[in-house]
Structure 1
Amino acid sequence: MSGAYSRHWRAMLAVNAAVMLGVFLHKLALPPYIPYIHLLVDYHFGFIKRALIGAVVGLFTAKVPVWLVFALAGGVWLITFGLFVQLFRRTFGLGQPQLPLFIFTAGSPFVFKNFLFTLGHFDIYGCLGAIVLLLVPARSLAYVLLAALISAALVLIHHIHLLMYVPTVAAIVVLRYYLIRPIMRLDIAVGAIALLGLGALFFAAQFLGTMPLPEADFVSYLKTRMVDPSRTELLQFAYVWYQPLSKEVQDTWARLPSNLLGVPVYALLLWLHRPLWRVFKQHIHSLNSPRHRQIVIAALIVIGLAYLVMFAMVFDYSRWISSWMVCMVLMLHAVKTLPATKSVAPIDGDDRKTTILGWIITVLPRVGIIRPF
């Protein structure tokens, strides 16, 4: 990469850091409606959905302050970002030739910037779990069991993780464990049991995890866990622990016409990442085994289908498309671990069009939660 263009990519790192700080400060000024109530809900009334994080918080404090939303979520964001940098360094390196790819992944408005805007939501936990599985050794069945444990925790945090990140976790396990060794019957049995167990856990959370008492009593209990019980506006989303799947689907389809207006925006944002897609495609084509290529493509299709189902069920479209993008970035790292016939050249940082796209990606602050921006 020439000196003139390398200065551009180094400047993008600094601008990305400034944009992330701005998004974080903006998020601090917004009321944490959904994130805060998730810190209050626990297993006091038995097994219910979306209660794991609140139950863990309850082990350390009986009263939950509002600032804990930002402290906890900010800490998880820092850990996730730090582990991603370590993963990127191990997979691709962090020299000047790799800077463009780092900008198009870590600096994407779909990825860590959007995690800052959705600070306190549960999406980033799936990303964190997948990064851990990409970093730790995959030498024994303990790896499969670890993936099952992480996936179970994700489903208990929010059952929609079964569609949002568990397929990517499963794909990482297949690529890093099952494809690099002869498959034994025990491997198949453990994997099948893990999948069946996760499916059962999902159905239990979805259909048996409804709050078993009147909403007024539930809200009264939540107030006992608040440092400031007078802030009742932070409890306005308590109804989600009573809402059946049919109501969620109904609300999603009612919002569908307006949400579909954002599809061209998402398509444009994804098009801006075309240097990343080009490199991803080259890595798939460079795989040594045709069977590996077929399995990778099948895994990407399964992940995409899971997101299509999720789009039909819950209307937070900006979050879902952002998490899908995160899954693609994670899958790129997983594909890079497979044997290849040839090395893939990094994104050309000296290309003027690529540099312009990099700057656009850099200055975009985030994608959003429900609608674009």
Structure 2
Amino acid sequence: MTVRILQNPWRLLLAINAVVIVGVFVHKVQLPPYVPYIHLLVDYHFGFIKRALIGAVVALFTAKVPVWLVFALGGATWLATSALYARLFQNTFGFTARTLPLFVFTAGSPFFLKNFMHTLGHFDIYGCALAIILLLMPAGSLLFVATAALFSIILVLIHHIHLLMYVPTIVTIVVIRHYLAHGCNRTNIAFGAIALVAVSALFLAAQFLGTMPIPEADFVGYLKTRMADPSRTDLLQFAYIWYQPLAKEISDTWGRLPHNILGVPVFALLIWLHTPLWRFFASLIGALASDLHKRLVIAALIGISLAYLVMFAMVFDYSRWISNWAVCMFLILHAVKMLPAARETELIPAEDRKTNISGLVITLIPRVGIVRPF
């Protein structure tokens, strides 16, 4: 029995991942939710401002926001995203003994669901969830393109940095699933172009016109009226982000760069541990029936990576950015699998010793973090 588990440990690794996720959740609920909580308080009471959509939706249902709502809302979103990804994996690859290594390297990656649990309440996961929905829904009509545009608008209203974080991945999914799979014509190209312009214009409005129009002291005073416990003033210490200009964010990021850049070797090691997955992804691209599809997929991966490079230069939450970059790669992998292939791609081997070791290591890593590794 022991020898069999060591040779094919993937079911055991899934069970270990589940235990690790529970541990991360128990640890997370004991930490003060500084940034996630204040996002539930901010709404459109003073007009159009950035980062206010989630708070505005919460305001429709409750006038007073308890702290526990961060974990309830974040936990429900995490569960929904996990279920959506399980459904996506089932649709794309199916759940068999042969596909379990691939599932462990994606769903069990410290970049993915485990790190979303660590960042519970942050806005990153919404981009992932909406991108998965686009991978699951029919893509043959302009309704698909319109839905993608709507999702992108929602994400920019949640936080404008989604224009770099998940909108490029959504655009790639639309190109692969609609334009490459169903063809291009004047109507759908024009519709897509208008959608891109609209989302970009909204981003510029949020970035440069979405600053809070009242003094910070008055803003904080209003937030206290939304709190279930106004004495928790420690949870309002990040109110300044609704006043901070882009130049200040970039300045802070570059000021922290010498220290934060020390985490890059750790990120590189984490990426290297996923080598069996990257090899499979490369083989999947190489197996595509069309050379044009291959070139466009590679260009999209470069474009998504460049968007994250811009984020690295602007905002210093490096562990979150590298984790979401990896998640975007996982999602594009599923989109690529939906394209016509000239041959079948061999899955990640289930009984290879080096692959098993890599799978065990990434399973035991509980998360990547928010700013610095771990």
Given the two structures, how large is their TM-score scaled by the length of structure 2?
A: 0.98
Q: Which amino acid aligns with 2:139?
A: A
Query: Distance between the aligned counterparts of 1:206 and 1:303, measured in 2?
Result: 20
> C-alpha displacement at 1:5, in angstroms?
4.8
Match of 1:204 in 2: 205
Gaps of 5+ in 2: none
1:58-97 superposed matches below 5 A: 58-97=59-98
The answer to whether residue 285 in structure 2 is matched with residue 284 in structure 1 is yes
Query: Distance between the aligned counterparts of 2:366 and 2:333, measured in 1?
Result: 23
Deviations 1:302-322 (A, max 9, x none): 001100111000000000000
Query: Distance between the aligned counterparts of 1:33 and 1:239, measured in 2?
Result: 12
Query: Distance between the aligned counterparts of 1:295 and 1:6, measured in 2?
Result: 38
Query: Distance between the aligned counterparts of 1:348 and 1:107, measured in 2?
Result: 16
The answer to whether residue 120 in structure 2 is matched with residue 98 in structure 1 is no
Match of 2:222 in 1: 221
CA contact 1:32–1:69 (8 Å) conserved in 2 = yes
Match of 1:364 in 2: 365
> C-alpha displacement at 1:6, in angstroms?
6.2
Query: Distance between the aligned counterparts of 1:95 and 1:23, measured in 2?
Result: 27
Query: Distance between the aligned counterparts of 1:309 and 1:225, measured in 2?
Result: 35
> C-alpha displacement at 1:345, in angstroms?
1.2
Gaps of 5+ in 1: none
Match of 1:17 in 2: 18
1:251-262 superposed matches below 5 A: 251-262=252-263
CA contact 1:5–1:349 (8 Å) conserved in 2 = no
Match of 2:54 in 1: 53
Match of 1:29 in 2: 30
CA contact 2:156–2:203 (8 Å) conserved in 1 = yes
CA contact 2:173–2:335 (8 Å) conserved in 1 = yes
Query: Distance between the aligned counterparts of 1:28 and 1:13, measured in 2?
Result: 23
Deviations 1:114-165 (A, max 9, x none): 0000000000000001000000000100000000000000000000000000
Deviations 1:338-359 (A, max 9, x none): 0001111111010011001100
CA contact 1:6–1:96 (8 Å) conserved in 2 = no
Query: Distance between the aligned counterparts of 1:220 and 1:67, measured in 2?
Result: 21
Q: Which amino acid aligns with 2:201?
A: A
Match of 2:306 in 1: 305
Query: Distance between the aligned counterparts of 1:190 and 1:310, measured in 2?
Result: 28
Query: Distance between the aligned counterparts of 2:69 and 2:210, measured in 1?
Result: 25
CA contact 2:140–2:182 (8 Å) conserved in 1 = no
> C-alpha displacement at 1:367, in angstroms?
0.2
Query: Distance between the aligned counterparts of 1:231 and 1:181, measured in 2?
Result: 54
The answer to whether residue 179 in structure 2 is matched with residue 173 in structure 1 is no
Query: Distance between the aligned counterparts of 2:7 and 2:144, measured in 1?
Result: 39
> C-alpha displacement at 1:7, in angstroms?
4.8
Match of 1:158 in 2: 159
Q: Which amino acid aligns with 1:348?
A: P
Match of 1:123 in 2: 124
Query: Distance between the aligned counterparts of 1:328 and 1:52, measured in 2?
Result: 27
Query: Distance between the aligned counterparts of 2:5 and 2:74, measured in 1?
Result: 38
CA contact 1:318–1:369 (8 Å) conserved in 2 = yes
Query: Distance between the aligned counterparts of 1:113 and 1:183, measured in 2?
Result: 39
Given the two structures, how large is their TM-score scaled by the length of structure 1?
A: 0.99
Q: Which amino acid aligns with 1:127?
A: C
Give percent identity, aligned residues only.
68
The answer to whether residue 119 in structure 2 is matched with residue 113 in structure 1 is no
Deviations 1:200-252 (A, max 9, x none): 00000000000000000000000000000010000000000000000000000
Query: Distance between the aligned counterparts of 1:184 and 1:329, measured in 2?
Result: 29
Match of 2:323 in 1: 322
Secondary structure of 2:200's match? helix
Match of 2:341 in 1: 340
Deviant stretches of 4+, over 3 Å: 2-7
The answer to whether residue 316 in structure 2 is matched with residue 331 in structure 1 is no
> C-alpha displacement at 1:4, in angstroms?
4.0
> C-alpha displacement at 1:181, in angstroms?
2.3
Match of 2:248 in 1: 247
Instruction: Tell me the number of residue pairs that the alignment of Structure 1 and Structure 2 aligns.
Output: 372
CA contact 1:113–1:366 (8 Å) conserved in 2 = yes
Secondary structure of 1:97's match? coil
Query: Distance between the aligned counterparts of 1:213 and 1:83, measured in 2?
Result: 40
CA contact 1:49–1:156 (8 Å) conserved in 2 = yes
The answer to whether residue 196 in structure 2 is matched with residue 195 in structure 1 is yes
Match of 2:352 in 1: 351
